[in-house]
Chains A and B, each alone.
Chain A
Amino acid sequence: MVLKFKNYIRVPLLINTPYILSSQVTKATNQNEVNLLDFIQKYASIGTWEFDLELETLDWSSETKKIHEVPIDFTPNVESGISFYKTGYSRDTISTLFTKCISNHEDFDVELQIVTPTNKDKWIRAIGMPIIKNNVCIKVQGLFQDIDKKTKDTKALAYKEQQLRKTFENTLVGMAIVDLNGNWLDVNKSLCKTLGYSKDQLSTMTVKTITHPEDIHIGQKAMIEMMRGQREYYETEKRYISKTGKNIWAQLFTSIIRDDSGEPLHYVAQINDLTKIKETSKKVDQLLATTEDQNKRLLNFAHIVSHNLRSHYGNLDMLLDIVKMDLPETTENEIFPLIGLAVSHLGETVENLNEVAAINIQKDLKTEPLNLLENFNRAHSSIAALIIDSKTTVSINIDPNILVKAVPAYLDSILLNFLTNAIKYKKPNEPANIEINTNIVNDFVVLEIKDHGQGIDLEKYGEKLFGMYKTFHKHDDSRGLGLFITKNQVEAIGGKIEVESKVNEGTTFYIHLKKHE
């Protein structure tokens, strides 16, 4: 984009065309003079006219007729002449000036609009001067010039200039015109606001004086390249120092303006204040670092806790073994077996904790394509005794060709967990009836496990369903870590779990597993 501004362009407001204004013009007898006059009239788009008050005739030269866009044989009179002027300002003005010229002997030189026979507005310049004889005006002679294109161009330019000026002044982006030595020639409001200096203050400074000392070198090479014509613009980020001494992070976009011969004139700079963005992203980075750090410490903590708990559990377990061997008589009571049970539960809890910590620590899990049906059947047969004992019916409807992307140990654990859960939470008075189906949804295999069991009140417990140590059923064996671990495992291999449930009707889990293509 090349921007040009008022102060740096000379807009020709006065048209410096040589006028030939002489009472002799129309009376030229010399053939050469006539030819020269025609030549001038044609190329300068200037016609002549003359009004004779005694004869009441109005003469237009051929160029004047051409400007009016009338045929060469057109004979004007005062009324028709004036009627060419656009109604309103133009016609009123010419009438007044013409009258004053005759009565007060005043010259006139005015830019007005006429309307051509094809109904086109046209800017013209009308010049008139009275010819006085015995203190009475006998003729009015004048010039008539087509200034339409120039006027329209000027007006269009002025309009554009105004548009750009307003854009420059009012845009939210800081903008500046900087000369080749780095002096601020012009700055807009936004830049003043960003830097804290007024326009006048900046005009006495250079770009260098308000640039952060460490960033002075930035863009110097590009500036030289622009001066040499090897580059038209450049973009960078650098810091300025505001009036109050604050660091201002800015995105700078500089382009160079050249004259017609390509000589560099000045730079146009756009300066976008990035301070807030930088500060915000810094905060985000800090928060991220803090979160990562906390996460690490949390995992570390889980690790230490589980390790230390493990060693205490190990000691308790070992001591119980010794007591059994060393002092068998002290174990023959109600309390000893309970201690044994408590210790073994402690061991399991610690095991589970370790597992959770391990899942979250694992980074590059190696998943492999696994046949879902085969794996399901394996889980199924590993609890065959439980299924037979509990008279559970399992109807398996899994496409034998389905392969999922999973970690083998995780998939085993996931399938086993859902299967045992479905049996565990059967309706109290009837054997469990489990339906297994699969669906393909986009890149996922959705394994559907429907248990027709007790169901869970999701409104009440939904949020806690997959939480650590939450149980919803009064069941001997519900310790509540199963679903939590399972969820962690499913998510670790890129899947997710959805659940539908109704109390006394049963629960359906939808396990989304990544499909192997």
Chain B
Amino acid sequence: MSKIDVACIIDDDPIFIFGAKRMMELSNFCKSFMVFKNGQEAINQLKPIMLNGKDIPDIILLDINMPIMDGWEFLDEFIKIEAHKSITIYIVSSSIDPVDLNRAKRYKNISNYIIKPISIETLKGILEEELQE
């Protein structure tokens, strides 16, 4: 029933990853996951996937504050890759700094800014938006 096949989580916090995965499972959010611990790892892995056109994620939940390559740097790299499929990107961060919120608005690829913690309700909301498209 889910329209989302692959959900991608880019976050350095193992607790968040655990929680998010569990909630996705419980809410029947998607069929499979892809998890990266920082922007660099995500770019390195996503690039060949994007070019192959196989198992491209439908949705990315992207954290901002991460080591090595943060969320913004990831976005700047990611939008350079030619995509064969529309990917919905959500920023999921604990930051409530207006600077971050405003910065997110400048990227047209970003669908929404979700302030942590996420809940089942949040995930259901995302799912509904996806199904409407």
Q: Do A and B come from one complex?
A: yes
CB-CB under 8 A from A315, the residues of chain B are 13, 15-16, 19, 116-117
A326, B96: Cβ atoms closer than 8 Å: no
Main secondary structure of the interface of A (DSSP, over half): helix
Q: A311-B13, A313-B117, A315-B15 are in contact. Are A321 and B23 (CB under 8 A)?
A: yes
The number of chain B residues with a CB under 8 A from chain A is 19
Contact string, B3-40, partner A, CB cutoff 8 A, digits 1/0?
00000000001011001101100100000000000000
B88 CB to closest chain A CB (Å) equals 21
The reply on A375 being an interface residue by CB < 8 A is no
Q: B97 touching A321 by the CB < 8 A rule?
A: no
Q: With A310-B94, A311-B94, A354-B96 in contact, is A318–B26 under 8 Å at CB?
A: no
**B111 close to A (CB within 8 Å):** no
User: Roughly how many angstroms separate A79 CA and B95 CA in the complex, as a whole number?
Assistant: 115
Selected contact of B119 from candidates A310, A318, A326, CB within 8 Å: A318
The yes or no answer to B118 lying at the interface (CB within 8 A) is yes
CB contacts (< 8 Å) of A321 on chain B: these are 19, 23, 117, 119-120
Fill in one digit per residue for A315-337: 1 if any B CB lies within 8 Å of its CB, else 0.
10111011001100000000000
Cβ contact within 8 Å between B22 and A322: yes
Tally A residues with Cβ within 8 Å of B: 16
Residues of B within 8 A of A431 (CB): none
B26 touching A326, Cβ below 8 Å = yes
Residues of chain A within 8 A of B98, CB atoms compared: 358
Q: What 0/1 pattern do residues 345 to 361 of A give for CB contact below 8 A with B? A: 00000000010001000
List of A residues within 8 angstroms of B118 by Cβ: 318
- Tally of contacts, chain A with chain B, CB under 8 A: 51
- Residues from chain B with a CB closer than 8 A to the CB of A317 are 117
Minimum Cβ distance to chain B for residue A344 (Å): 11
Q: Tell whether A303 is near chain B: CB-to-CB under 8 Å.
A: yes
B26 is contacted by which of A310, A322, A354, A358 (Cβ under 8 Å)? Answer: A322
Interface 0/1 of A289-316, CB less than 8 Å to B = 0000000000000010001001101110
By Cβ-Cβ distance, the 8 closest A-B pairs, closest first, are A314-B117, A314-B116, A311-B94, A318-B19, A310-B94, A318-B117, A317-B117, A315-B15
> Besides the contacts A310-B94, A318-B19, what 17 more A-B pairs have beta carbons closer than 8 Å?
A303-B97, A307-B95, A311-B13, A311-B16, A311-B116, A314-B116, A315-B116, A318-B16, A318-B116, A318-B118, A319-B19, A321-B19, A321-B119, A322-B19, A322-B22, A322-B23, A325-B120
Which chain B residues have a beta carbon within 8 Å of chain A's beta carbons?
13, 15-16, 19-20, 22-23, 26, 65, 94-98, 116-120
- Chain A interface (Cβ < 8 Å from any Cβ of B): 303, 307, 310-311, 313-315, 317-319, 321-322, 325-326, 354, 358
